[in-house]
Structure 1
Amino acid sequence: MSAPTPPKISGAGMLYVVSRIASKDMSEETYLKWYEEDHIAEIMQTSGIKSAVRFKNTNLDADKPYMVMYPMEDLGFTQGEEFKKIKVHSNILPGGGPIYDLADIDVRYYSLTQTYDPKGPTKPGKVKLINTAGLSPNETISDNEFDNWYRQEHLDELAKVPGYLRSTRYNLQYYRTNAQSRALKGLPARAEDIAIKTPPRFFAVHEFDTDDIDIKALMATVETDWSKRIMGNLAEPFEGNFWALKGSFGDKTFFQEAR
């Protein structure tokens, strides 16, 4: 499989990276050591990415339980030579890697569309848990109505949930499967790489300062008539996940500045 030519992208956004260990030769301890001490450390030295936050899915049965988000001021950085030179081999990895032989990694490029800070800018370091929501409305719901639902109602409802801090929203620009990442790095194709469905077009990250989320209060946010209309007109796939914070790196910011 050849790597597709990505669209020209720019402006504020993030890389959203989910993964699972795919080789019996690599333990979780080794994987996380590589991630934090080698991979993220190298990325933090680049000119275009200065922060990273690592999470683990609270669902023990999640297909890809590991997640890292890299916020950046210009997604165009990911299309330059400096980004492409980030290593895929390491002495930490079994056999030296490459990582795409040992883990199944999906990468999404999201452009930032909204930050919602109902109590004013939140300082980094408060978040403990996040809820991510990936949604794609069907033809019944226009993109404009979907955006208005978030801005005019849903975020205000979410702000009522105990422990809620803030939200950021995104549009999908591009994504890469493990197979496409291998092709990008000049690695041979493998039969075991599995194609994934196109991810949802719209994505939101809802931050909380609690170790657990009040699910009853969270579900109440979609009980309005408008929410029922939106939720009743979603296309597949739909994503809803809860992630526990495991580490923050670099300057540890996540679009805290006012927009």
Structure 2
Amino acid sequence: MAPSPYLLWVNSRPTQVDDDLWVKWYIEEHVPDLVNHHVATRGSFYRELVPEGFALGGTPHPRKYLALYQTEIEEPLKTQKFIDIRKTSEMFPKDKTIHANGEFNGRNYKLIQDYDPENIGEKPTKFVLTAEMNPKDEADFEKWYLEEHLEMLHKVPGHRRSQRYVIGPKVPGIGDVTEAPKYLAVHEYDSLDPFINNAPEVVKTNGTPWTKKQIAESNMNAFRMFELVKPIGY
């Protein structure tokens, strides 16, 4: 099964309900709604992990939940299919509207590379490492990924595949592309222990002159990792 050509990325946090109810609403109602109404081909809901000693560093992001929707549509939230989806939930104890209970940041992306050396295909992955970058030299950035970085990431134990995206049109109401780096990579892993424990393969990958150059020259970098809560539509 080939990956969809577009990705809807939605980072969120609850504001009026607790985390448990937010997760329950997302995996029982919201992600299934987008998949069942054909706004998305499939979707996965993740919770961010920020373990002490994470090799790439970073601090917890206020929006720690991430929904990744593969879709055939460049701007899925502008479609009638999405407009028809319920915008309220009886799960919420007070105000029933979705946006009264949480904060969202959404982005549209276009797939530019599916790196799948083991031919894993479209199967849920337990962990993802996301890398957002805004390179100074896009041609050199592309060459770095193709000629060095992906192959080295694949040598880190547990790597499944990687998908690379370029940002698309602004998501109405919940996104601002000026706040986001231009490029996103989603690296799938069976385990993130090598990154947490700073394994030799990770040290080698992050320590090459080319990698250091790309990170230093990118004027926006965000490296985060997430654990799967539930996949829908696979």
Which interval holds the TM-score relative to the shorter structure? Answer: 0.7 to 0.9
Find the counterpart in structure 1 of residue 222 from structure 2.
239
Q: How does 1:34-49 map to 2 (within 5 A)?
A: 34-49=25-40
Say whether 1:114 aligns with 2:117: no
Secondary structure of 2:123's aligned partner:
coil
Cα separation, partners in 2 of 1:170 and 1:91, compared to 1, 3 Å: same
TM-score computed with the length of structure 2 as normaliser:
0.85
Cα deviation 1:63-117 (Å, max 9, x = unaligned) = 1111110001232444321122222211111224222111111011111000001
Tell me how far 1:55 sits from its aligned partner: 0.7
> Equivalents in 1 of 2:115, 2:25: separation in Å?
33
Give distance in 2, aligned partners of 1:92 and 1:19: 17
Q: Report if the CA contact (8 A) 1:132-1:205 is conserved.
A: yes
CA RMSD after TM alignment:
2.2
How many angstroms does 1:231 deviate by?
1.7
Tell me, yes or no, if the aligned pair for 1:130 and 1:207 is still in contact at 8 Å.
yes
> Unaligned regions of 5+ residues in structure 2, if any?
52-59
How far did residue 197 of structure 1 move? 5.9
Q: Is the 8 A contact 1:57 1:242 kept in 2?
A: yes
1:100-143 Cα deviation digits (max 9, x unpaired): 11111101111100000122234614x221110000013xx1x2
Supply the distance in 2 between the matched residues of 1:220 and 1:152 (Cα, whole angstroms): 15
* Conserved 8 A contact 1:22-1:104: yes
8 Å CA contact retained: 2:161, 2:187: yes
Deviations 1:137-164 (A, max 9, x none): 13xx1x2221111111110110110111
Query: How far apart are 1:44 and its partner, in Å?
Result: 1.7
Identity within the alignment, %? 25
Q: Distance in 1 between matches of 2:83 and 2:69?
A: 15
Q: Residues 122, 218 of structure 1: CA spacing in aligned structure 2 closer, same or farther, 3 A cutoff?
A: farther
TM-score by length of 1: 0.78
The equivalent of 1:93 in structure 2 is: 92
Alpha-carbon distance in 1 for matches of 2:29, 2:89: 8
**Structure 1 Cα separation of the partners of residues 216 and 192 of structure 2:** 30
Which ranges in structure 1 are unaligned for 5 or more consecutive residues?
1-10, 183-194, 252-259
Q: Match of 2:190?
A: 209
Aligned length: 220
Q: Secondary structure at the match of 1:95?
A: coil
Pick closer, same or farther for the CA change 1:235–1:80 going to 2, 3 Å.
same
